[in-house]
């Protein structure tokens, strides 16, 4: 049996871990079957507990942009661990990575480290409310900003309807302060601001959406958000947990030339370890305790292990800009190759890509928001996922997640990927 050990581990896990996993997408609920348990990884290759190996297009959901077990990062972690894993006090590496990130990313002057992307987005919203003295926020249907209560809101009957909770445990009181707009639809934002603009503290958006598949902002969309936020005194938050340091060294802000008021980071700045951060101009960030009245704290925030790993990763990206042009070349080759194969096999598809983030949707309509992403044929995706898995290619186990390409994927692995796609028959 190809996944015998994984199957047994999943059975054992279900007795002590809710759903058998520590994060829901890992359970393969969207694609069916038994989740694969990994044992090790190096470069672009994952190795499971049954001795199978896979070309990885998840890369820990983004942070392994330089491939798994990148030697300089591993060395930095080992060297730091020997000195202590956490002090609960300031350390020099926190200052070094803060100075480097603020010098690389447009529009930010100060940064606060936290422990996850969820924590970064949650804290950024609290900060925006504290700065503006307002309570409501605008988010976009299909954009994911972590599992904080304010973000687990589904759209009502339209963009102007107050949100309703889509998870038990989220109160109606929390939901009423979250207003839902449609991604790439500036009119939906304008209508909300006309009715509620003076009560809205912040608008939070993934500048490159990654949780309804990869969806790029339409031309002028981010620029129009900036203009509307300025008009109504709303702070604009870019959630760059996925896009930060991946679509360019300066993230989506640099890539699209639009500057947010607050930017959230995660993934890459931990070098594969748990980390998050939020950043902005001094006059905004100085509202945070202990400089200001908005409270935020964390015992493990800025811990030396994560900071050493992140500093090493980000510095390598800063000092080697050719990585981004090489990633663009490889990602483009994968995109065009998949498109050619699916077209030749008369399989309806749409491929979205921004740099080394991409997704394949099994529909022939443009995918520009959550509604259009939902049109995709999920049954075809399920078959495609398991076909690729059985041919040694590990894709995100959901039609609504972005793929991530790492710099360690070589021409042979690109060919293997395209060969696997070529043998897929949508019967």
pLDDT in tens, 340-365: 999 999 999 999 999 999 999 999 99
Residues 375-397: tens digit of each pLDDT: 999 999 999 999 999 999 999 99
Which of 277, 292, 319 is at the close of a domain?
Answer: 319
Query: pLDDT at position 165, please?
Result: 64
Is the pLDDT reported for residue 160 higher than 50? no
Phi, psi of 39 (to 5 degrees): -115, -35
Query: pLDDT at position 174, please?
Result: 80
Residue 248 lies in a domain: yes
Residue 427 lies in a domain: no
Question: CA 285, CA 110: separation in Å to the nearest integer?
Answer: 6
* Domain shared by 295 and 338, yes or no: no
DSSP state letter for 35: P
* Domain shared by 55 and 127, yes or no: no
Domain CATH code at residue 25: 3.90.1150.10
Is the pLDDT reported for residue 275 higher than 50? yes
* Domain shared by 111 and 192, yes or no: yes
Task: Measure Cα distances from 140 to 186, 207, 234, 406 in Å.
Answer: 11, 11, 15, 28
Residue 341 lies in a domain: yes
* Domain shared by 223 and 190, yes or no: yes
Long-range contacts of 244-248 (CB under 8 A, 24+ apart): 244/105, 244/268, 244/269, 245/65, 245/104, 245/269, 245/314, 245/317, 246/62, 246/65, 246/355, 246/356, 246/357, 246/404, 247/208, 247/354, 247/355, 247/356, 247/357, 248/324, 248/355
* Domain shared by 359 and 258, yes or no: no
* Domain shared by 64 and 75, yes or no: no
Q: In this structure, are strands 393-394 and 45-48 parallel, antiparallel, or unpaired?
A: unpaired
Domain CATH code at residue 213: 3.40.640.10
Q: Which residue has the tokens 């199957």?
A: 7
Which of 319, 347, 379 is at the close of a domain?
Answer: 319
- Neighbouring C-beta atoms of residue 162, cutoff 10 Å: 16
Contact 253, 261 (CB under 8 A): no
Residue 257 lies in a domain: yes
Residue 393 lies in a domain: yes
pTM for this structure? Answer: 0.95
* Domain shared by 388 and 252, yes or no: no
* Domain shared by 65 and 75, yes or no: no
User: Which of 48, 56, 239, 369 does the annotation list as catalytic?
Assistant: 239
Query: Into how many domains does the chain fold?
Result: 2
Contact 407, 56 (CB under 8 A): no
| Angle, helix 411-422 to helix 322-344, in steps of 10 degrees | 20
User: Which of 3, 54, 57, 144 does the annotation list as catalytic?
Assistant: 144
* Domain shared by 24 and 80, yes or no: no
Q: Which residue has the tokens 């930017």?
A: 263
DSSP state letter for 360: E
* Domain shared by 56 and 75, yes or no: no
Query: Which one is predicted more confidently, 266 or 150?
Result: 266
* Domain shared by 273 and 226, yes or no: yes
Residue 115 lies in a domain: yes
Contact 310, 264 (CB under 8 A): no
Query: pLDDT at position 156, please?
Result: 28
Task: Measure Cα distances from 300 to 16, 88, 109 in Å.
Answer: 26, 7, 23
Percent of the chain beyond pLDDT 70?
Answer: 96
Which of 293, 319, 345 is at the close of a domain?
Answer: 319
Residue 205 lies in a domain: yes
* Domain shared by 64 and 88, yes or no: no
Contact 117, 146 (CB under 8 A): yes
Structure tokens at 72: 């300089």
Average pLDDT over residues 409-418: 97
Could you list the residue range(s) of the whole structural domain that residue 15 is in? 4-69+321-422
Query: pLDDT at position 152, please?
Result: 78
Residues 313-341: tens digit of each pLDDT: 999 999 999 999 999 999 999 999 999 99
Residue 79 lies in a domain: yes
Tell me if residue 267 is catalytic: yes
Question: Which residues does residue 111 pair with via DSSP β-bridges, in sequence order?
Answer: 279
User: Which of 3, 48, 232, 267 does the annotation list as catalytic?
Assistant: 267
Is the pLDDT reported for residue 60 higher than 60? yes
């Amino acid at each position: 049996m190809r996944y015998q050990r994984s199957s047994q581990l999943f059975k054992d896990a279900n007795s002590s871990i809710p759903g058998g996993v520590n994060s829901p997408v890992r359970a393969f609920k969207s694609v069916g079957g038994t989740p694969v348990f990994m044992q090790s990884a190096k470069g672009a290759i994952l190795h499971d507990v049954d001795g199978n190996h896979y070309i990885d297009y998840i890369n820990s959901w983004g942070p392994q942009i330089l491939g798994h077990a990148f030697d300089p990062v591993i060395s930095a972690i080992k060297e730091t661990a020997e000195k202590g894993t956490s002090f609960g006090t300031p350390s020099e590496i926190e200052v070094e990575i803060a100075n480097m990130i603020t010098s690389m990313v447009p529009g930010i002057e100060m940064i606060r480290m936290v422990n996850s992307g969820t924590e970064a987005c949650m804290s950024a919203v609290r900060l925006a409310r504290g700065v503006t003295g307002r309570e409501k926020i605008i988010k976009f249907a299909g954009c994911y900003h972590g599992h904080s209560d304010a973000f687990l809101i589904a759209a009502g009957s339209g963009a102007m309807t107050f949100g309703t909770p889509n998870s038990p445990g989220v109160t109606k009181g929390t939901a009423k302060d979250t207003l839902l707009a449609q991604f790439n639809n500036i009119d939906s934002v304008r209508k909300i601001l006309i009715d509620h603009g003076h009560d809205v503290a912040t608008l939070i958006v993934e500048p490159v959406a990654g949780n309804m598949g990869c969806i790029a902002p339409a031309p002028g969309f981010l620029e129009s958000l900036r203009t509307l936020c300025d008009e109504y005194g709303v702070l604009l938050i870019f959630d760059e947990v996925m896009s930060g340091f991946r679509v360019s060294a300066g993230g989506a802000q640099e890539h699209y030339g639009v500057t947010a008021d607050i930017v959230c980071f995660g993934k890459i700045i931990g070098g594969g370890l748990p980390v998050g951060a939020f950043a902005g101009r001094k006059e905004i960030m100085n509202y945070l305790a202990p400089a200001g009245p908005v409270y935020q704290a964390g015992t493990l925030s800025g811990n030396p292990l994560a900071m050493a790993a992140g500093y090493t990763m980000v510095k390598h990206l800063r000092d080697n800009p050719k990585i981004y042009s090489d990633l663009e070349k490889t990602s483009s080759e994968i995109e065009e190759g998949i498109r050619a194969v699916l077209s030749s096999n008369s399989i309806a598809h749409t491929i979205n890509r921004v740099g080394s983030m991409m997704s394949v949707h099994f529909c022939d309509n443009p995918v520009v928001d959550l509604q259009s992403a939902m049109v995709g044929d999920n049954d075809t995706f399920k078959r495609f996922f398991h076909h690729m898995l059985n041919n040694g290619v590990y894709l995100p186990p959901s039609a609504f997640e972005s793929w991530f390409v790492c710099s360690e994927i070589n021409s042979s692995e690109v060919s293997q990927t395209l060969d696997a796609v070529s043998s897929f028959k949508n019967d």
